[in-house]
Structure 1
């Protein structure tokens, strides 16, 4: 992101090598003239709006410089499509028509600047430079709004998640203090066990919050060390607390020998544990949770599969979102914060790997994880 300093031109010059401008015009000569004057940037060309949209969808474009009158898809339609997909994208309109109605339509569609034809090349360079500063400001404002929304959602979720166990513990203690509960009764012992479980759950919530806070406050680097996944995975399977809730579900593993990898053991263990725990948690009362590991060219492939309740197709794209939780029984009382799979994917991606989920209702779920043999930290 651009940093605004007392000398913005100097700061901009340091950053523009990384910026990409997409020039959209059906006239090759116009595209060539623009490319020549914008030689400091990485320039991509498109002959019409449809081609430009296809290029933009691939990512990496910072500014779009587009003509209005083009075949297939004109500049205004392209502008609307771009803004719908990414409101902070900066679009500069080139037009040879000083038509007020056209300008109004472009302004309503949130065009960021206008350049009239014939082109003034100095004006073109200046417009793109200013557009990058505007893009940085837009992104900063969007980030601030996102952070504010995130804080509100997070505080609301913390309040909701803590309220139920605290209420249970408080009611038990009140009844105990008033003499309603006799600790010598068999029923009282059961209540004490339930309250103990609630206290443990509170402890787990606090641990999740501390881990989340640690990562948000800068503990986001990889600490690589030699790691034997064939040794790590069995311990993660056996250590899962979810087995206690599903005594009819059994583990099954088939782990090939893989090269010893340099990994952040803590982060990879966290990611794999989340996937294994979920496979057990969302199993039916009886069944298998199968973990396989295969050595493939250039990567280690791990599969965690269950024959449980499955995940609705419409929920699959949301699985890795922050705070998203699958609520199979629609109770609204799913435990935890819904951060497990979010961080699992993040930690795997930091190792240059990937994670994906296949699922079918009442059939089961399969999670596929790929970790490259050579790890380089990804942003």
Structure 2
């Protein structure tokens, strides 16, 4: 630290000029960083929306081909056509998932990502989405077990976004769990919060990665990345959604033994509000699962 008491007038002026220059450079760098962040957000938003338009056209063309194909009997091209249509559809889902994640990531960064809170039965929400993916897990010969301490718990949540979080955790567990593995989803009722956990006996991850996995574009390591594809945005979005609910999400894991993701949500309710009946059609839920599970190859 400079002792101004022993500086000459000229030295003092030079020292103050240096400090002014430092403050000016700092402000300039801060403004440039802010402009860069805004430009990056705008660029991501433009790219995401521009990609969604041709993707919808491709998706529509696939559906049209499938409808025409259904009317054809004894077609010799049936088997190869079905194979290629399935591949095209799956990759459309993968792109749609990535684009949606980019859009929501940008919304979070600029503060436009909002919750639609209603009083809901959180136990039913978790149970419904867990049972919905049992068939998909069985395709990889993985068993899913659901267990709960309570039959009903009404709290204020955005059911669709909570469902999205659970789907993301389940898809991650399925990706990194081998055939014959087990995934457990269980609910505990605490005094001031509800605990939801997704546990698997898959490949696990190093303990030093447990904090980093919730960062954008985070990957555990190159060997696990080769095992399953993904951008790493899903866990960032899941953490953001849970924190917007006033809760927290964290992970426990040991390499080669398995992982456990634990969510804690405070048991608040919206006063003077009725319990909402969340009705998601089977087709809509299946589509959500297809999108979230698009990068899982059986």
TM-score relative to the length of structure 1: 0.52
* Map of 1:206 onto structure 2: 96
| CA deviation after TM superposition for structure 1 residue 232, in Å | 1.0
**CA distances 1:287-313 after superposition (whole Å, capped 9, x unpaired):** 111111111121111111101001233
**CA distances 1:61-83 after superposition (whole Å, capped 9, x unpaired):** xxxxxxx27xxxxxxxxxxxxxx
Higher share of residues assigned helix: 2
Inter-CA distance 308–256: structure 2 relative to 1 (3 Å threshold):
same
The answer to whether the 8 Å contact 1:310/1:362 transfers is: yes
Among 183, 187, 201, the alignment partner of 1:289 is 183
| CA deviation after TM superposition for structure 1 residue 203, in Å | 3.2
**CA distances 1:302-335 after superposition (whole Å, capped 9, x unpaired):** 1111010012334333211223344544539724
* Map of 1:331 onto structure 2: 226
* Map of 2:76 onto structure 1: 184
The answer to whether the 8 Å contact 1:292/1:303 transfers is: yes
**CA distances 1:129-149 after superposition (whole Å, capped 9, x unpaired):** xxxxx76x6544323223445
* Map of 2:7 onto structure 1: 98
| CA deviation after TM superposition for structure 1 residue 349, in Å | 0.3
CA distance in 1, matches of 2:255, 2:206: 6
| CA deviation after TM superposition for structure 1 residue 346, in Å | 0.3
Unaligned runs of 5+ in 1: 1-67, 70-93, 114-133, 167-182
The answer to whether the 8 Å contact 1:229/1:260 transfers is: yes
* Map of 2:23 onto structure 1: 112
CA distance in 1, matches of 2:95, 2:134: 15
The answer to whether the 8 Å contact 1:242/1:281 transfers is: no
CA distance in 2, matches of 1:308, 1:189: 34
The answer to whether the 8 Å contact 1:301/1:369 transfers is: yes
Ranked by relative contact order (alpha carbons within 8 Å, sequence separation 6 or more), the top structure is 2
* Map of 1:356 onto structure 2: 250
Among 87, 90, 113, the alignment partner of 1:197 is 87
Mapped pair 1:225 → 2:126:
no
Inter-CA distance 245–328: structure 2 relative to 1 (3 Å threshold):
farther
CA distance in 1, matches of 2:212, 2:81: 37
TM-score relative to the length of structure 2: 0.64
Among 213, 217, 229, the alignment partner of 1:319 is 213
CA distance in 2, matches of 1:314, 1:256: 32
| CA deviation after TM superposition for structure 1 residue 202, in Å | 1.2
| CA deviation after TM superposition for structure 1 residue 234, in Å | 1.7
CA distance in 1, matches of 2:228, 2:84: 16
Inter-CA distance 332–277: structure 2 relative to 1 (3 Å threshold):
closer
The answer to whether the 8 Å contact 2:185/2:199 transfers is: yes
Inter-CA distance 332–235: structure 2 relative to 1 (3 Å threshold):
closer
* Map of 2:290 onto structure 1: none
**CA distances 1:24-45 after superposition (whole Å, capped 9, x unpaired):** xxxxxxxxxxxxxxxxxxxxxx
**CA distances 1:100-151 after superposition (whole Å, capped 9, x unpaired):** 69x88xx69x9539xxxxxxxxxxxxxxxxxxxx76x654432322344567
* Map of 2:203 onto structure 1: 309
The answer to whether the 8 Å contact 2:44/2:106 transfers is: no
Inter-CA distance 318–241: structure 2 relative to 1 (3 Å threshold):
farther
Mapped pair 1:141 → 2:27:
no
Unaligned runs of 5+ in 2: 59-74, 271-298
Inter-CA distance 194–364: structure 2 relative to 1 (3 Å threshold):
farther
